[in-house]
Amino acid sequence: MKSILLLNTQQSDFSLQFDKILKRAKLDIQGVEKIVKEMLDSIRLQGNKAILEHILAFDNWNPKNFEDLKIPENSMQQAYDNLDDKLRCSLQEAYNRIFDFHQKQKPKTWLDFEENGSILGQKITPLDRVGLYIPGGKAAYPSSLLMNAIPALVAGVKEIVVCTPAPCNEINSLLLAAMYLCGIKEAYKVGGASAIGMMAYGIDNAIKKVDMISGPGNIYVATAKKCVFGEVNIDMIAGPSEIGIVADSNARADYIAWDLLSQAEHDEMASSILVTTSQKLASEVSQRINEFLLKLPRAEITAKSIYNRGAIILTQSLEESIQLSNAIAPEHLELLVSNPLEVLPQIKNAGAIFIGENTPEPIGDYIAGPNHTLPTGGSAKFFSPLSTEHFMKKSSIIAFSKKAMDELGEKCGILACAEGLDAHKHSVLIRLNKKD
Amino acid sequence: MKSILLLNTQQSDFSLQFDKILKRAKLDIQGVEKIVKEMLDSIRLQGNKAILEHILAFDNWNPKNFEDLKIPENSMQQAYDNLDDKLRCSLQEAYNRIFDFHQKQKPKTWLDFEENGSILGQKITPLDRVGLYIPGGKAAYPSSLLMNAIPALVAGVKEIVVCTPAPCNEINSLLLAAMYLCGIKEAYKVGGASAIGMMAYGIDNAIKKVDMISGPGNIYVATAKKCVFGEVNIDMIAGPSEIGIVADSNARADYIAWDLLSQAEHDEMASSILVTTSQKLASEVSQRINEFLLKLPRAEITAKSIYNRGAIILTQSLEESIQLSNAIAPEHLELLVSNPLEVLPQIKNAGAIFIGENTPEPIGDYIAGPNHTLPTGGSAKFFSPLSTEHFMKKSSIIAFSKKAMDELGEKCGILACAEGLDAHKHSVLIRLNKKD
């Protein structure tokens, strides 16, 4: 019978095995780059026509014109009105909590006055127009819509465009309801690389280009986002979902087993890793995984993920556990240790940190408030969770007084001169009434 | 005789002409992508050997081994000690002012306590290791070193690597002095796409990979940065320098002429645009440009830039001027108008805003304090100036209390269920002691 991989930092080939975990889920962008670039080029050159062709080819329906791609606003309201009461109430609670958290992230313009009378500062401005990509198909991801639309709303973005694939011209009603809740006015049944190209370049006389694209997607979407980066901004390049759990002997095996499985059920490529000092916990979790798996409707995907890509790593100390966790830099990290606040400052790399046994990772997927769009594949070493700030930009402000210019102009001229930039020097010296 | 292009928003082909300004300086990444990818692949596959070959091919010297590429720390100190007093003092003043400004940008970890006893927050952590690319060759850019190293220092980054090309194995002594001032310990004589590849992938047994790369460079550097984005984070993809000036009839033509020329002298591809309501100012500035050009040692480059890519646009109103400026989204924007504070809130897109006649753009290049690494080519619509935050990352923090779980767990389970994710539901319900 299969079971989750068990590693021990003391085994001779540990670093070899651990290296596989570090290199988990490298996105094979090179493998799909050619086809994605062709699709993007076709959108740039043929616009609308290319989009309609892609939909016929990939989504199995035949839109006649661009109007056919629009998702009618009244279908969003209808879907919302038809929601079961409990579900509507849960969605509203999620909306409220996500909204509240993202408001706390909202940066403000600031100005600083110097004694010499000059002003330095930073102006914060919402982006004009952004595009949200929401995966579609059989599964429904209303939570992704909330997590991408709400920070844009909080930021004050005026124009929000949503793209989602509609295989066979069908869209999940829960996603439509979430669009209504977020006040989405402009949405299109376009998916994959086509959607990214359409939003990044715009379509003549039909759709304006956006300034920034956020949202999760498959390898084609991730690759297209990388290709259009620079033409527009993007949130990040994200791969399959992951969880890391650092636990000591006090943690409950049944909780951990469900938490690992909840990542594994997302995707065969998902990665679920427990790092613990407790041999007893390790074997209990392994057993519970096997038991619980049988209860799951998505058992096939979940089993592939947990058996092929999951692992339990036995360490010699909490310190070693933390060291491994920082090296893994997991998207989600659960801290199930006796004194989590002592550990927290040592956690350097993680998209979101879930502390204590009452904070299972799914609480962060839906309702806690912080964003669930998080860096994967180790990129938590340098990327941050999607936030209100992704939907705003900064401009520096400099207003020198005459006094400041008199004090600093000459030094500025000396530096310009040292870099061999004469017009720079003149531009300063003419304000000082100096010829040279 | 040549003169700067004069446009009028009333002329029949204005939108056609303006479109050229909007499409200024599109980087031809596709044109060099193939060669850059080959160079990056060779570094990934052959490491050190590839780097040494690239240097022989592009920088005209023949390093024997990796050690040869290291810039000795004592050469930095020596260069600093040999600085002329006035220059050292100017560099130090620039350092202090840049440091002060970037400290004001430093974000802080925050936690928020809810009434139900749970904690939500955002942890801020400096990146572990970053790479700074500083262009080299004949010109020296000590200011680029300050502008890239100081935000990393303020952020608390422990390991800072600098790469700069050293044609014929020579490095400008002013750049070395600036490295000493910033306390750089690890620097290499490696330039172009090779430097980006070396920092992004690391070299076995010689150099560790970094988490983030910042710094300006030519089209090869920009393309390489785009290619490695995702493997590491990057600051932005920047092209040639630009200035936009919005001026009314009170502005001084001589000031404006020098400010336009100071951008033009950077690069043949630089773009310098004046937008004004004053016909008189427009023609005076045009005349002054022609006069001042004769005084410049870099007159050839400057003339190519200002005559081929500069423009003066005559508008009907200040409002129209601002509208055009927002569409251009210039890297640098000077506001030379009677009531700049009334105009400031309307400025949506600009990397840095220079207010009033005592604030020529070069003051921001060297000594004002805000960063001079700014979004170009219209990307100020969505990118921000390089900042302390680029050298830090965020992790969300969620610590639910038992009470919070009791209040919100069921709703979370309902949402998980609606998305068809059963293990997610179980992971929550087991905390509520509910079977389903």
As a whole number, the mean pLDDT across chain B is 95
How large is the C-alpha radius of gyration of chain B? Answer: 26
pLDDT at B29: 80
Query: Helix, strand or coil for residue B172?
Result: coil
Residues of B with catalytic roles: 331-332
Query: Number of Cβ pairs closer than 8 Å across A and B?
Result: 363
pLDDT at B140: 75
pLDDT at A436: 53
pLDDT at B209: 97
Could you read off the pLDDT of B301-315 as tens digits, one per residue? 999 999 999 999 999
| DSSP per-residue letters across A255-308 | HHHHHHHHHHTT-TT-EEEEEES-HHHHHHHHHHHHHHHTT-TTHHHHHHHHHH
Task: Over range B216-233, report the average pLDDT.
Answer: 94
Select from B198, B213, B234 the last residue of a domain.
B234
User: CA angle, A56 as apex, A50 and A59 as ends, to 5°?
Assistant: 115
Can A331 be counted among the known catalytic residues? yes
CB–CB of B412 and A120 under 8 A?
Answer: no
Output B295 or B4, whichever has higher pLDDT: B4
Q: State whether A222 and A258 are in the same domain.
A: no
Helix (H) or strand (E) holding A149: helix A142-155
CB–CB of B297 and A422 under 8 A?
Answer: yes
Q: What is the ipTM of this complex?
A: 0.96
Domain that holds residue A420: 400-432
Q: Could you tell me if residue A375 is inside a domain?
A: no
Residue reference for tokens 């998902």? A270
Q: Could you tell me if residue A379 is inside a domain?
A: no
Please name the member of B362, B409, B428 whose beta carbon is closest to the beta carbon of A424: B362
Low-confidence ranges of chain A (pLDDT < 50): none
Complete edge-to-edge strand list for the sheet that includes strand A212-214: A186-188, A159-163, A129-133, A212-214, A233-234
Select from B207, B234, B261 the last residue of a domain.
B234
- Strands of B24-72 (E only): list them: none
pLDDT at A298: 86
Contacts of B204 in chain A (CB under 8 A): none
Q: State whether A150 and A35 are in the same domain.
A: yes
Q: State whether A75 and A223 are in the same domain.
A: yes
Could you read off the pLDDT of B179-211 as tens digits, one per residue? 999 999 999 999 999 999 999 999 998 999 999
Q: Could you tell me if residue A280 is inside a domain?
A: yes
Closest CA to A215 of A37, A372, A394, A36: A372
Instruction: Tokens for B172, please give them.
Output: 């400008």
Q: State whether A223 and A273 are in the same domain.
A: no
pLDDT at A64: 93
Q: State whether B423 and B364 are in the same domain.
A: no
Contacts of A336 in chain B (CB under 8 A): none
Q: Which of A54, A242, A265, A331 is catalytic?
A: A331
Task: Over range B346-354, report the average pLDDT.
Answer: 98
Mutation to test the A interface, candidates B221, B415, B433, B434, most A Cβ within 10 Å: B415
Instruction: Give the CATH number for residue B184.
Output: 3.40.50.1980
Q: Could you tell me if residue B388 is inside a domain?
A: no
Q: Could you tell me if residue B89 is inside a domain?
A: yes
Nearest CA in chain A to B142: A419
Mutation to test the A interface, candidates B342, B358, B371, B403, most A Cβ within 10 Å: B358
- The Cα A275–Cα B363 span in angstroms is 53
Q: State whether B141 and B35 are in the same domain.
A: yes
Q: Could you tell me if residue A381 is inside a domain?
A: no
Q: Could you tell me if residue A211 is inside a domain?
A: yes
Q: State whether B145 and B133 are in the same domain.
A: yes
Q: State whether B9 and B47 are in the same domain.
A: no
Q: What is the count of structural domains for chain A?
A: 3
Q: State whether A293 and A337 are in the same domain.
A: yes
Is there a binding annotation on residue B406? no
- The Cα B278–Cα B282 span in angstroms is 6
Is there a binding annotation on residue A419? yes
CB–CB of B398 and A355 under 8 A?
Answer: yes
Select from A347, A368, A389 the last residue of a domain.
A368
CB–CB of A393 and B408 under 8 A?
Answer: no
Q: State whether A261 and A199 are in the same domain.
A: no
CB–CB of B127 and A381 under 8 A?
Answer: yes
Could you read off the pLDDT of B133-159 as tens digits, one per residue? 999 866 678 999 999 999 999 999 999
pLDDT at A138: 60
Q: State whether A55 and A173 are in the same domain.
A: yes
pLDDT at B136: 83
Q: State whether A230 and A243 are in the same domain.
A: no
Q: Could you tell me if residue B330 is inside a domain?
A: yes
